[in-house]
Structure 1
Amino acid sequence: MDLELGYNLEKEPTLHEGEAKFKSLGWKKLTTCLIVEAIALGSLSVPSAFAKLGMVAGVIMCMGLGLIAIYTSYVIGQVKLRHPKVLHYSDAVGLIWGRFGKELTGVMFVLFLVLLVGSHTLTGTIAFINIANKPGFCALAWGIISAIILFIVALPPTFAEFAWLGYIDFVSIIIAIFIIIIATGIEGSNAPGGLAAIPWSAWPPPDTTFYEAFLSTTNIIFAYSFAVCQFSFMAEMHTPSDYFKSIWALGLIEIFIYTITGALIYRFVGVDVASPALLSAGSTVSRVAFGIALPVIFVSGSINSTVVARYIIDRTFTDPRFKYIRGWRGWGLWVSLIACLTVIAWIVAEAIPFFNALLGLISSLFISGFTFYFPALFWFKLVKKGKWYVGWKNRCLSALNAFCLVLGLVVLVCGTYASVMDIITQFQKGSVRGSFTCASSAYT
C-alpha cells in the first residue's frame, strides 16, 4: 500500500507539470499565435482582389468581412468558456451535431491544415526560385528545402513556445509590405504620366465575370480565416476569458493591414497588379521582399502542422508522456508525427498540378463553415439565452447570426462554383504545371 501510494505521489507532480506547460498561453501570446496563423503572404493577394472588385467594393469587403470575423471568433470564445473540455474545433461541432459532426469536422480540420502546409511548401519554392534567380536549379530541390524548414520550425510542441517566432513573423510581413508599397509607389510616380496615368477603378471592371469577382472575394474571406485554430490555441490559455482582447487586437490589425495594402498597391500598380503583389515591384525589389518574407512563409506554415499534431495526439493518447511530450518516447512520437505531416503535405502539393486551385476549392468548402455558419449555429444552440425573439438583444443577435449563417452558405455554394471554374479555366489556358516538375518556370 505504501509503495502504491509512493508511486502515485511520484507520478502526480509529473502530470501537473505537463499540464502547466500546456497552460501557459496569455492573451498577448494568443494574439501572436493568431497573427502567425492568419497573416501570411496571402495578404499580398488582396491587391489583385481589389483589381477585380474595384476600390470601393474592395475596401468595403476588407472592413466588413473583418468585423464579421471578429464577431464569429468572439462567439467561438464564448463556446470555449462555457465548455472548457472543448480542445479543438471538431469537439465544438460534436456538441451540436453529435459524433458524426465531430468526426466529419475533424477530417475537414486535418485536411485543410495539411493542405495549407503544402501551400507553404510551394510558396517557399516560389520564394527561393525568385531569390536565387537560377532557372537551371531543380525546383523540386527548393521544395524539399522548404519542407525541411517547415518541419524544423514546427517542432516546438506548445503554442507558448511557438509564440516568440510570431514576433519575427509579424515584423517580416510588415517590412515586406512596407517595401512593396514604397517600391510600387515610386515606380508608379516615375511612370509616364505619373500616378494619374495608372489605370484603376472605383468599381468592378466591365469585363469581370461573376466567378472572377467571387473568387477575389474568397481571397479576402480566407485572409480572415483565423477562427479555424482558435479552439486549439485557447485550450492552452491560462486565463481563457482574456481571449476577447486577442480577437479585437488581431481583427483590427488585419483590417488595417489588408485595407491599406490592397488599396495602396492597387492604386500604385493598377489593374495589372500581380498576385502576390511582391511580383509587381520589379525583379530586384521582389527578390529582396521575398527574402524578407521568408520567415512569414515558414512560421505561418509550420504552425498548421503543430495544430494538427496536437489534435491527433489529444484524440489518440492519454499517457502523459505522449500527451505532454515528455521523455524520449514523447519527443520521438512528436518528431515523427510532424515529419509525417510535412512529408504528406509536400507530396500532395507536388503531385497535384492544380494544387493552389484545389486549395481554393477546399477553402470554399471548409472556411465557409469554420468562419461563418458553424459559429452562427454555435450561438443559436450553445450561447443564446432564452427565446430568440425575447428582448431586443436576442432579436438583434439572432438577426446577426442568421446573416452569418446565410453568408456561410453563400460562400460554400458560390465559392465552390468559382473555384471549380478557376480550375477549368487553368486547364483551358494550359497554365497547369506538371507533377513533381523540376522546371522553375512552372512555379512563377
Structure 2
Amino acid sequence: MSFRQDPKRLPASPPSAGSDTDVDASPAAARDVEKASSDAEHTEDAVFGKLQGGKALDYRAVGAKGAFVLLVKVNLGLGVLGLPHAFGVLGLVPGILAILVIQTIFCYCALMIGRFKIAHPQVYTVSDAAAVFGGRWAKEFWFFALNLQMIFFVAAACVGVSTALNAVSAHGACTAIFIAVAGVLAFMFGAIPTLGAITWIGWAGLASILAAVFTVTVAVGVQSRPSLAPATGPFDKNVKMFGDATFAQAMAAINQILFAYGSTPMFFGIASEMREPRKFTHSMVASIGFLTTVYLVVGVVVYHYCGQYVASPSLGSAGPLLKKICYGIAIPGLLASMTLFTHMASKNIFVRALAGSRHLAANTPTHWAAWLGITAGCALIGYVIASAIPIFDSLISIIGALVVPSLSVIPYTFMWWHDNYRFVPAEERTLRKRLTFYLNVLILVIAFFLTAAGTYGAVDDLINTTNNSKPWTCHDNSGTVKD
C-alpha cells in the first residue's frame, strides 16, 4: 500500500468487476456485476441522494459525449474572441508559447478532478474538495472564491451578448438596455434544472461559436486589407514575432489567455452529473486538445492577417457586414455560455444550501423556490457587474487575474498532495513522488505569480480604459460605426 489512509477520507469507489475471487470472472458475469454497480450508484448519489423514483430529478444524465461538449463550451465562447488581440500585444511566438504552457498546466491540474471525484464521491465543487484537504476554513475560502468567479463569468457573458446585440443592430439601443436583456435571458435559460437537459444547448452553442470564429478567420484571410486599416493608401499590419508591450500590458494579455481556459472549476459539477464519472478524464483531455487547436488556429490566423488592426472582440475584424453576420451566427453560442455559467453558478450555491435535504433532488415547492430564487440572484448580480464594467477586454482581464489561478490551478496541487503525498511515510516517497511534489510546488508558485502580476496588469488596463466608457453607459461596446 503506497500511502496511509486518511481517517477523514471516505472510502473510494467499489472495486471493479472481477476483482473479487468469489465472483465468476467470465466476461458476461463481469459486465453484469459492473452494470449492477453502475445502476446502484446511479440510484443513490453521494451528492444528490436518491435520484430515481417518486418525484426525484435525475441529475446523473450526462454521457461522455455530452460531457465533452459541455467541457468545451464552458471555455469556448468569450475567451476565444480576445485571443487575436492578446497575440497583438504579446507577439506571435510568446502568444503561442503562452497558450501551450497555460493549457499544459490547466490540463495537468484538471486531471486531478476525475481522480479526486472517484476517491471522494461526496465532492461536488472545488470548495468541497478544499474541505477534504484543508478543512472548514479552506472550504469557506474556496466557496467564496468559486462564487465570485462564477458570477464574474455570468457578467462577462452578459457583456458578450450585449456586444453581439450592439453589432447586429448597429447600436440600435443603449448598451445598458442590451445588458439588461442579457440578464433576463441568463435567468430564463440558467433556470433549467439539470445539466443533462442543457446538453443540447451546449451542442447548439458550440456549433454556433465555431461557425462564427471560423467565418471571421476565413474572411480576414481573403480580404484585401484589414477593415480597421486606412481605407486607401499604403498600410503596415506590423505583425510582430515578439511584442514590445510593457509588463502591465503583457500581463493583461496573458490574463485573456487564462480566461480562455478558466472554467476548470466547473468541471467538478460536470463530472458529478455524468452517468459514469470514470469517463470524465477522457472527455476532459479531448476537450482541452480541441480547445487548444481552435485557439491557436483562430489566434494565429486572425492576427497574421490583421496585425495591429485586429479588433477585440475578434468578430469585428472582417468589416462591418461580416461583423454583423459573424455576431449573428455567434449569438446562440454566447447565449449558451451565459446559460451554462448562470446554471452552474446557481447550482453551486443550491447544492450547498440544500445539502442533506430531500428537497435537493425531489420535485417539491421548496426545491423550486430555492432554485429559482438562487438563479435569479446570480443573474441579477451578474447583470450589475456587467453594467458596472461593460468593457469586454477589461472585464475578462480582471477575471483572468483575480480568480482563475486561485480556482483553476492552486487547489488541484493540494488535492494531489492530499491523496498522493500527505499520508505517505517518508520511506515510501519514491523519487517519482518527490519529483511530482516539486512539480506541484512549482505550479503553485506560478499560480501565485500570475495572480499578483495579472491583477497589476488588469488594474492598469482598467484605469486606462474607463475614461471612454462609464458604468451603465449607452456607449457602443462593439465599436460599431454607423454609416
TM-score (normalised: structure 1): 0.88
Cα 1:113–1:356 shift into 2, 3 Å: farther
Q: Decide which of 220, 223, 229 is 1:187's aligned counterpart.
A: 223
Residue 203 of structure 1: which of 242, 248, 254 is its match? 242
Q: Which residue of the other structure, out of 448, 454, 464, is the alignment partner of 1:425? A: 464
Query: Does the 8 Å contact 2:204/2:332 carry over to 1?
Result: yes
Note if 1:243 corresponds to 2:275. no
Partner residue, 1:3:
none
Q: Are residues 1:284 and 2:321 paired?
A: yes
What is the CA–CA distance in structure 2 between the aligned matches of 1:39 and 1:413, rounded to whole Å?
25
1:373–1:407 Cα contact (<8 Å) kept? no
C-alpha contact 1:51 1:204 (8 A) present in aligned 2: yes
The Cα shift of 1:393 comes to 2.6
Greater CA deviation, 147-156 or 243-252? 147-156
Separation in 2, partners of 1:376, 1:415: 20
CA deviation profile, 1:378-433 (whole Å, cap 9, x unmatched): 21122347359933431342233222111111111111111121122224xx22x2
Comparing 15-24 with 185-194, greater Cα deviation is found at: 185-194
Shift of 1:229: 0.8
Contact 1:63-1:255 within 8 A present in 2 as well: yes
2:133 matched to which residue of 1? Answer: 96
Distance in 2, Cα, partners of 1:234 & 1:275: 33
Letter in 1 for 2:100: M
Other-structure match for 2:166: 129
- Rounded to whole Å, the distance in 1 between the matches of 2:122 and 2:224 is 54
Instruction: Give the match's secondary structure for 1:104.
Output: helix
Confirm or deny: 8 A CA contact 1:112 1:363 kept in the other structure. no
Identify the match of residue 258 of structure 1 among 279, 282, 295. Answer: 295
Report Cα offsets for 1:190-235 as digits up to 9, x if no partner.
Answer: 9999999642011113xx1011111111211221112111112211
Read off the aligned partner of 1:232 and give its amino acid letter.
G
8 Å CA contact retained: 2:156, 2:386: yes
Whether 2:386 is the aligned partner of 1:349: answer: yes
| Cα deviations by residue, 1:40-81 (Å, 9 ceiling, x for unpaired) | 132021111111111111111112211221111001222111
Cα distance, 1:52–1:348 mapped onto 2, change above 3 Å: closer
Counterpart selection for 1:415 from 454, 473, 480: 454
Please tell me the residue identity of whatever aligns with 2:194: T
The Cα of 1:86 is off from its aligned counterpart by 0.7
What is the CA distance between 1:176 and its match in structure 2? 0.6
- What is the percent sequence identity of the aligned residues? 24
| TM-score normalized by the length of structure 2 | 0.81
Separation of aligned partners in 1, 2:364 and 2:300 = 51
Gap change, CA 1:223 and 1:358, over 3 Å in 2: closer
Partner of 2:442: 403
Residue 177 of structure 1 aligns with an amino acid whose one-letter code is V
Distance 2:224 2:357 in 1: 59
1:268 paired residue number: 305
Q: How many residues align?
A: 425
2:82 maps to 1:55: no
Query: Residue 403 of structure 2 aligns with which residue?
Result: 366
Q: Is the 8 A contact 2:88 2:308 kept in 1?
A: yes
1:164 is matched with which residue? 200
Query: Residue 16 and residue 383 in structure 1: after superposition, are their counterparts in 2 closer, same or farther (change >3 A)?
Result: farther
Q: Aligned residue for 1:174?
A: 210
Aligned to 2:23: none
Aligned residue type for 2:199: A
Change (3 A) 1:336 1:234: same
What corresponds to 1:9 in structure 2? Answer: none
Q: Distance in 2 between matches of 1:15 and 1:42?
A: 35
Structure 1 residues 362, 130: CA separation in 2 closer, same or farther (over 3 Å shift)?
closer
Q: Distance in 1 between matches of 2:59 and 2:410?
A: 30
Whole-Å separation in 2 of the counterparts to 1:103 and 1:356: 30
- How far 1:109 sits from its partner (Å)? 0.9
Distance 1:87 1:230 in 2: 10
Unmatched runs of 5 consecutive residues or more in structure 2: 1-48
Counterpart CA distance in 1 for 2:85 and 2:171 is 27
Amino acid at match of 1:393: R
Q: Distance in 2 between matches of 1:442 and 1:23?
A: 40
Task: Tell me the SS of whatever aligns to 1:202.
Answer: coil
Q: Is the 8 A contact 1:321 1:329 kept in 2?
A: no
Which range moved further: 230-239 or 185-194? Answer: 185-194
Does 1:143 find its partner at 2:179? yes
Aligned to 1:4: none
Compare the two structures and name the one with the higher helix fraction: 1
Contact kept, 8 Å, 2:56 with 2:362, in 1: the verdict is no
- Confirm whether residue 23 of structure 1 aligns to residue 60 of structure 2: yes
Q: CA RMSD in A?
A: 2.7
Deviations 1:113-166 (A, max 9, x none): 11211221122111111101145x233322222222222221221111111111
From 153, 168, 172, the equivalent of 1:116 is 153
| Higher mean C-alpha displacement, 381-390 vs 59-68 | 381-390
